[in-house]
Amino acid sequence: MVGPGSVSVVCIPLFLFAIDAPERPSDLTVRALTMRTEQFALTEASYVTVRLMQRFDRMENLDPEPAPKHNLTLTSCSASGVQVRLHEARG
């Protein structure tokens, strides 16, 4: 929370608001950048998932609630956290 006398810095990419600026990126450029960012996120999530599968051979649910509760905001996450036990793979 910002109170009286405090300083807050907000960075806004000005090219988004420039109407006739020649350096403003085209819609195609913005779409390509978004696709690269999404692809990187999917690749990173896949890597972490594979590494977890290599290290642990079993996952046990420790949540006493049968139905998960969600915290829906800009992103979706578990409202009560994720309660699991991971069993390390042997061999």
In whole angstroms, give the CA distance from residue 59 to residue 66.
16
Q: Is the pTM of this model over 0.75?
A: no
pLDDT given for residue 39 in this prediction: 86
In whole angstroms, give the CA distance from residue 12 to residue 18.
12
Q: Residue ranges of the domains in the chain?
A: 24-86
What digits encode the pLDDT tens for the residues 6-60? Answer: 444 455 555 555 555 556 667 777 777 777 888 888 899 899 989 988 899 998 9
pLDDT given for residue 24 in this prediction: 65
